[in-house]
Chains A and B, each alone.
Chain A
Amino acid sequence: MEDSDSDLLVQYRNGSVQALEQLVERYRRPLFGFILNMSHAREEADDIFQEVWFRAIKSLDRYRDERFLSWLFRIARNLVIDRYRSRKPLVSLESENPEGVALEDVIPDQGRSAAALAADHDVARQVATAVATLPEEQKEVFLMRLEGELSFKEIAKIQHVSINTALARMHYALAKLRDMLK
């Protein structure tokens, strides 16, 4: 049976580096996925990912009864905000996707059916590009749900808002992304 997060943390506190390595391995994908999609740059994502762990290791004493992944996401979110606070949004509707096409132009015509679009692999990329244009708070909620499968209660706690606000942010994000299917 797999050790729980708390078991691994106890083992790490008792000197087992392997226990922490197991935790890194366990949460590598969701955490890195969140950071990568919040930062949009591979190298920066690497930096933030390792910084999240440095901070987590340093402040393990302050870690209290909270899901470990949720705590990591909280640290990651704060680091992303610190890093990009002074910068303008990285992607806008006027910006171009990797193929050099303005995002406005890839939003599909109303005439095409949702089923036909869903079958098209490009739509997935278009939706992903649209995710990047979401307001930061909505994007955070969407990615925390998608990558980390955090509950709305956890997301609300991380964003310091009510559950209803977190739900509303997800609702608005989905409404914008649904427009891609119409």
Chain B
Amino acid sequence: MMNCRQAEQRLLLKDSGELPFQDRLRLEQHLAACRHCCVYRDDVERVTSLARQGLPAGEPGGRALAAIREAARFGGSPKAVTGWEWCRDLTVAMVRPALAVAAVVMLCLGGWYWLAGSGPAPTGLVAASKQPAIEVASQSGEGFDDLTRMLVEDVVIIEGISELSARSDISPLDRDLLLLEGLAI
């Protein structure tokens, strides 16, 4: 015969759907004869119902749901990107190839200077390249047309930008601004 302690435990299991059929029958028999356990059963139902009414209920906020949706797309790593970060990333992505092209141009020019310098009697631009770049840029001598002078000026500026952006002590923002300047050139 089931005692009251066992009956109370089985009432909980019955409520959770975990009580086997035979035990359910025995529980019903016990309840039919035990007023104490009937009161317990009614109280448990009442307390559960009251708790359901009284406990704070709510919905997760829209921001949390949006973050989960985002995470679902990226496999659990939500990526919150601000407008500024998006613009910066885009700009850097555009500037980097431009700088690479500028570097190749500088290498070609350097090679050209070197090859020309090793030949006979330097004249014109080759002769100018033997002088400091700033002096060359400001020079308006013979055989040194405007287009070439502008190109040399740009190379000088890009060289300066490259040196500055390679320094470890400048901030990412300053580096981005330098890259933008490079792109403008």
Contact = CB atoms under 8 A, between A and B. Distances in A.
Interface in A122-167: 123-129, 131, 142, 145-146, 149-153, 167
B64 A167 contact: no
A151 B18 CA distance: 7
A177 B72 contact: no
Contact of B9 (A46, A114, A171, A180): A171
A73 interface: no
B60 A49 contact: yes
Contact of A55 (B18, B48, B61, B76): B76
Interface in A101-124: 114, 118, 121, 123-124
A92 interface: no
A146 B71 contact: no
Contacts of A180: 47, 50
B32 interface: no
Contacts of B9: 167, 171
A167 B13 contact: yes
A154 to B, nearest CB: 9
Contact of A178 (B18, B44, B65): B44
Interface string B60-87: 1101110111011101111000000000
Given A17-B69, A171-B8, A181-B47, A49 B56 contact: no
Main SS class of interface, B: helix
A10 interface: no
Contacts, number: 123
B100 interface: no
A118 B60 contact: no
Nearest to A168: B9
B16 A145 contact: yes
A170 B55 contact: no
Nearest to B51: A127
B89 interface: no
B60 to A, nearest CB: 5
Given A33-B57, A178-B43, A57 B64 contact: no
A178 B39 CA distance: 11
Interface centre among A36, A127, A181, by most chain B C-beta atoms within 10 angstroms, is A127
B112 to A, nearest CB: 52
Nearest to B57: A33
A82 to B, nearest CB: 18
A46 B65 CA distance: 9
A17 B72 contact: yes
Contact of A28 (B8, B44, B60, B73): B60
A8 B180 CA distance: 47
22 contacts: A21-B72, A36-B58, A45-B60, A46-B60, A49-B64, A50-B71, A54-B67, A54-B68, A54-B78, A55-B76, A58-B75, A114-B43, A118-B46, A118-B50, A123-B54, A124-B51, A124-B54, A127-B50, A129-B54, A151-B16, A174-B44, A178-B44
Given A21-B72, A36-B57, 18 more contacts: A17-B69, A17-B72, A24-B69, A29-B57, A32-B58, A37-B55, A46-B60, A49-B60, A54-B68, A57-B75, A59-B76, A124-B50, A128-B54, A128-B55, A131-B51, A146-B55, A151-B18, A177-B51
